[in-house]
Amino acid sequence: MKLQRLYSLVRQAADDYDLIHDGDRIAVGISGGKDSLTLLYALHGLQQFYPKKFDLFAITVDLGLDGFDLGPVKTLCERFSVPYTIISTEIGKILFDIRRESNPCSLCAKLRKGALNQAALDLGCNKVAYAHHKDDVVETLLLSMIYEGRFHTFEPATYLDQTGLTVIRPMIYVCEADVIGFKNKYELPVCKNPCPADGYTKREYVKKLTKRIAQETSTDVKSQMFHAILNTPLPGWEIKGKDV
């Protein structure tokens, strides 16, 4: 995927769901992975030509696990002139040493979000941007159906009452395959995830399940399910623009 295509998809999402307003101070959650770095590229580029003016801040919540080198991310942020904040935590120690969680993902996500939101507030931000893409939308829907018995996924924008922050997801029109292509084409400085649970989650199971269904049916299953969401539509998914 070329940079201009990324800009186009992110701008369409921003327009369709009114994600960005004049004067916004947007904190981008940077995990160090391909998705969050692609989002940083996208929002930095959008900042140059989007009619609504906004400020960007990059934040990484460091879990305190060994082998997590954020130097390349810091260099990228300096290149983009985006202020970069690293929040040091002991989340990894809490999960794996103290509590010895067998299924740590839910608690980890809750602790990371709490730290990220507080850092965003400290920087005077009113919005936090997550790097969820189209595949994440579909996989979350499947997870909800299989494990919770409901037809649900996250919304393009979510207002958090307790903090006053709004979470936005500008990459919902971007496929993971395109993110991978973008990462390779532009040589993103991806930092290897040191989490011992990486690759052994329910989400990983659902990812493999959808891939298997696609192979067995010879259909673009994820696109079909994404359009099912748009056609329902779920609360928060009513688009103002044309179909994707």
For residue 87, what is the domain's CATH number? Answer: 3.40.50.620
pLDDT of residue 234: 86
Tell me the per-residue pLDDT of 82-141, one tens digit each, with 9 for 90 and over: 999 999 888 877 877 777 766 777 788 888 899 999 999 999 999 999 999 999 999 999
Q: Please identify every stretch of the chain with a pLDDT value under 50, giving residue numbers as ranges.
A: 243-244
236 within domain boundaries: no
243 within domain boundaries: no
Strand intervals (E) in the chain: 24-29, 54-62, 84-88, 127-129, 157-159, 166-168
Count of structural domains, the chain: 1
pLDDT of residue 197: 65
What's this model's pTM, rounded to 2 decimal places?
Answer: 0.91
44 within domain boundaries: yes
pLDDT of residue 244: 47
Q: How far apart are CA 133 and CA 116, in angstroms?
A: 19
Compute φ and ψ for 87, nearest 5 degrees: -100, 115
Contact 116, 87 (CB under 8 A): yes
238 within domain boundaries: no
Q: Which domain holds residue 161?
A: 3-231
108 within domain boundaries: yes
pLDDT of residue 233: 75
117 within domain boundaries: yes
74 within domain boundaries: yes
242 within domain boundaries: no
Beta partners for 29?
Answer: 59
